[in-house]
Amino acid sequence: MHFLHVVGARPNFMKVAPVLRALAARPGVVQTLLHTGQHYDANMSDIFFEQLGLPRPEISLGVGSGSHAQQTAQIMARFEEAVLARSPDWVLVYGDVNSTVAAALVCAKLRIPVAHVEAGLRSFDRDMPEELNRLVTDQLSDLLLTPSADGDENLRREGIPAARIRCVGNVMIDTLVRLLPQARLPDAALSSPFALVTLHRPSNVDEPETLRSILETLIELSADCQMVFPVHPRTRRRIADLGLTFPSPRQFLLLEPVGYLECLALQRSALTVITDSGGIQEESTYLGVPCLTLRENTERPVTITHGSNQLIGTDMDLLQHEFRKVLNGQGKRGRRPPLWEGRASERIAEILLGGDAVVAPERRAA
Ligand code: UD1
């Protein structure tokens, strides 16, 4: 059985790693790893391959940046050629990035079976490009592998037959469980305590006044607790445009994007995490570290119902208030959601190879 895995952006790499390993451990499996090149900087891509022990991608499409339409269209055009040349039995797509939806759409038209890992998540906010990617990918996929029961409900509500949906748990947590023992803090001037900050959502960073208000609040809070902020390339450009003055690094430490092992160690050691990332909401839930999410909604509600996550939106008074609660030892700790124990990828391999992976006959490749 030949599986072709499509990855493109930073959050895909920790999701594909355990699935590749779980499938590689089974007999009769051939795998191809394809990188679209959506993320291409060494610190957004190469370092993850190295730290996660991923093989070099056999196919690199080298797509790079562009508008959403340009990026998605280029991935589609180049991916179609690559997938036709390989004719895999299954294509696996991950998460909600432009590479995910582009590959799913190509496969659906070629009638190549597609499995979506991390299916069913919904923020119900169509202003987020990722929400559109999730909706379309799920409609086009033959097998929907969800991380939590809310995903199954969302999919059924959208009319997807129950036979195509499997709740397998969270593959990000498989990687976290495997690599937590190797987590190591970056070589940087960290104080104690510190708060970890990450920001890259267009809704927070593309509007200068929103970004300014967030950063000014964080600068104020840094008087009481060092802010450690690895800056995404998108955000770096926007911050430069604002011309803000930051306090000294002892108070406000701006870093280049960090590797996976460093990011895990930073989360584990942080007093709290202030973020708009999806993956970090999940990782901090697993680690029991209070997470203050600078978004109005989340497609990962179990991080709130079970975990350590709280939505702050762009209400900077609320951020101040909740941050002070954390400083006073009253941060939310939560508990781990069901099936977030490190074996989701085993369940995926079982489903794909156990013969019960449902593909509607009309969707199978001719
Ligand atoms: C993408 C995903 C988002 C994910 C995020 C994690 C989509 C729609 N969004 O957003 O879901 O949470 O990745 O990082 O797919 N850039 C570089 N170097 C790189 C990669 C990007 O400089 O290696 C620059 C690009 O030129 C662009 C900006 O960063 O200006 C944004 O990159 P892009 O991949 O378009 O989207 P992200 O914001 O990273």
* Statement to judge: residues 41 and 163 lie in one domain: yes
Which atom of ligand 1 is nearest the CA belonging to 40? 23
Q: Say which residues have a Cβ less than 8 Å from residue 66's Cβ, sequence separation at least 6.
A: 74
CA-nearest residue, atom 31 of ligand 1: 234
- Cα of 9 from ligand 1 centre, angstroms: 7
* Statement to judge: residues 163 and 191 lie in one domain: no
* Statement to judge: residues 57 and 154 lie in one domain: yes
CATH number at residue 123: 3.40.50.2000
- Position 284 confidence tier, pLDDT thresholds 50, 70, 90: very high
Average pLDDT over the chain, rounded to an integer: 96
Mutation test residue for ligand 1: of 232, 235, 263, 275, the one with most atoms within 8 Å of CB: 232
| b/e sequence 143-152, b meaning 16+ C-beta within 10 Å | bbbbbbebbb
Structure tokens at 258: 């960090």
Looking at residue 356, its pLDDT comes to 66
pTM of the model: 0.95
- Cα of 317 from ligand 1 centre, angstroms: 29
Query: Is 327 in contact with 225 (CB distance < 8 Å)?
Result: yes
* Statement to judge: residues 156 and 16 lie in one domain: yes
- Cα of 79 from ligand 1 centre, angstroms: 19
* Statement to judge: residues 303 and 266 lie in one domain: yes
- Is residue 286 domain-resident? yes
Cα–Cα distance measured from residue 111 to residue 106, given in angstroms and rounded to the nearest whole number: 9
Cα–Cα distance measured from residue 361 to residue 13, given in angstroms and rounded to the nearest whole number: 31
CA-nearest residue, atom 11 of ligand 1: 97
Give the structural domain span for 59.
2-169+341-363
Q: How far is CA 21 from CA 26, 272, 302, in A?
A: 9, 32, 26
Looking at residue 109, its pLDDT comes to 98
- Position 116 confidence tier, pLDDT thresholds 50, 70, 90: very high
Looking at residue 357, its pLDDT comes to 66
- Is residue 42 domain-resident? yes
The ligand 1 site (C-beta within 6 Å) comprises: 9-11, 38-41, 44-45, 65, 96-98, 129-130, 200, 232-234
* Statement to judge: residues 194 and 276 lie in one domain: yes
| Mean pLDDT computed over 314-331 | 97
Structure tokens at 318: 């609320």
* Statement to judge: residues 147 and 252 lie in one domain: no
- Position 366 confidence tier, pLDDT thresholds 50, 70, 90: very low
Which atom of ligand 1 is nearest the CA belonging to 66? 35
CA-nearest residue, atom 26 of ligand 1: 65
- Position 363 confidence tier, pLDDT thresholds 50, 70, 90: low
- Is residue 7 domain-resident? yes
CA-nearest residue, atom 21 of ligand 1: 39
- Cα of 44 from ligand 1 centre, angstroms: 9
Secondary structure of 218-266 in HEC code, one letter for each residue: HHHHCCCCEEEEECCHHHHHHHHHHCCCCCCCCCEEEECCCCHHHHHHH
- Is residue 333 domain-resident? no
- Is residue 73 domain-resident? yes
- Is residue 24 domain-resident? yes
- Position 364 confidence tier, pLDDT thresholds 50, 70, 90: low
pLDDT digits (tens, 9 = 90+) for 70-103: 999 999 999 999 999 999 999 999 999 999 999 9
* Statement to judge: residues 53 and 165 lie in one domain: yes
CA-nearest residue, atom 22 of ligand 1: 233
Looking at residue 119, its pLDDT comes to 98
Q: Say which residues have a Cβ less than 8 Å from residue 326's Cβ, sequence separation at least 6.
A: 271, 272, 290, 292
* Statement to judge: residues 120 and 260 lie in one domain: no
* Statement to judge: residues 15 and 160 lie in one domain: yes
- Is residue 336 domain-resident? no
Looking at residue 316, its pLDDT comes to 98
* Statement to judge: residues 140 and 202 lie in one domain: no
- Position 360 confidence tier, pLDDT thresholds 50, 70, 90: low
Cα–Cα distance measured from residue 139 to residue 234, given in angstroms and rounded to the nearest whole number: 29
The number of distinct structural domains making up the chain is 2
Catalytic amino acids?
200
Pairing of strands 194-198, 114-117: unpaired
Rounded to a whole number, what is the distance in angstroms from the first to the last CA of the chain?
16
* Statement to judge: residues 303 and 348 lie in one domain: no
- Cα of 182 from ligand 1 centre, angstroms: 27
- Cα of 123 from ligand 1 centre, angstroms: 19
Mutation test residue for ligand 1: of 234, 235, 258, 276, the one with most atoms within 8 Å of CB: 234
